[in-house]
Structure 1
């Protein structure tokens, strides 16, 4: 019988050892699990902090993104407004320049017409002036010719008149001298008739 006991004891010992071993294994597993849980909790806490920080950063980034989107919308609106104002100004300036160009073209056309008329008038005036100058030169030449003829006629008339006067004066002088001689002779004769000498008187 004893061998049976020994067998039972061995079984009991092995069972006990197995139980102790399994308890030790369980404890080790439990400790490892606790350590794993602590590590996982730390890891989870870090992850939670990271998540909180990431959410905070995400909220900040979303806020900044919204602010940037708003700013971008404002800038786009401002650009649209500026483009609209510049387009209006450009259209206004283009209309003004087109009007000014048209007005200047009309003025140039009118001035060209006036210039053409003035040049035609100038040519006409020059032709008329040339005609008048030719007529004036012809009249002056004719008058000079007539003046020269009149001078010649006047000189001739003057010479003829002077010659005639000289000859008349000569004739008159001769007549006066003859008369004077007759009168002197007559008075001499009278004085002689009275007995007077004419040379004494």
Structure 2
């Protein structure tokens, strides 16, 4: 059984022709065969290149998918990290805001309390001032009263002293007159007694 080149149909049985025509036909067939072989080789090279391109594209697609998956995982991790960081920052912000609010509210409360204490202290001070003024007024009134009494006492004492001195002066005058009378009487009695003895008072 005869074999034929690829893509080359089997030779049809032809009628016997002259040898010249048969040689030309064989040359044409060989030429067509060579062209077919060449075309087949070109197609095979083209197919080989296309297969390599397909394999490369498939490899690139697999690599790209792997890179996309890696990027997606990395993006998910970054998003998760971003959410974690955002959550932590939000928590820190809320904590700082709460602490700051507490720090702000505490001085405000203390300031309000100090204002109330200041108002109370001012009221107490005003009351104490009024009491002190009242006490001073009362003291001044007492001092004025005492001074008035002292003045009256001095006047009374002065009157009493004058009256006492006058009385003593009067009594001394009476006593002096009495002493003078007694002294005169005694002197007279003494003279008389000396005279009885024959003596003179001048001689003694």
TM-score, normalization: structure 1? 0.65
* 1:45 alignment partner in structure 2: 52
Q: CA deviation at 1:165?
A: 0.8
Partner of 1:5: none
Bigger helix share: 1
Structure 1: 5+ residue runs without aligned partners? Answer: 1-7
Partner-residue secondary structure (3-state), 2:183 = helix
Higher-RCO chain (CA-CA 8 Å, sequence separation at least 6) = 2
Greater displacement, 67-76 / 191-200? 67-76
Q: CA deviation at 1:127?
A: 4.8
Q: Distance in 2 between matches of 1:126 and 1:49?
A: 104
Structure 2 unaligned regions, length at least 5: 1-16
Equivalent residues in 2 for 1:26-41, closer than 5 Å: 26-41=33-48
Indicate the residue corresponding to 2:188 in structure 1.
Answer: 185
Indicate yes or no: 2:161 matched with 1:155.
no
Taking structure 1 as reference, are residues 62 and 118 closer, same or farther at Cα in structure 2, changes over 3 Å only?
same
Name the CA shift for 1:87/1:18 in 2 (closer, same or farther; >3 Å): same
Query: Which SS does the other structure have where 1:198 is aligned?
Result: coil
Aligned residues: 184
CA pair 66-134 structure 1, distance change in 2 beyond 3 A: closer
Structure-2 residue corresponding to 1:71: 77
The aligned residue for residue 6 of structure 2 is: none
TM-score (norm 2): 0.64
1:57-96: CA deviation from partner (whole Å, max 9, x where unpaired): 23541452353155146426625753785598589x48x9
Is the partner of 2:64 in helix, strand or coil?
helix
Q: Does 1:58 align with 2:64?
A: yes
Report the CA distance between 1:162 and its aligned residue. Answer: 0.9
> Mean alpha-carbon deviation: is it higher for 177-186 or for 138-147?
138-147
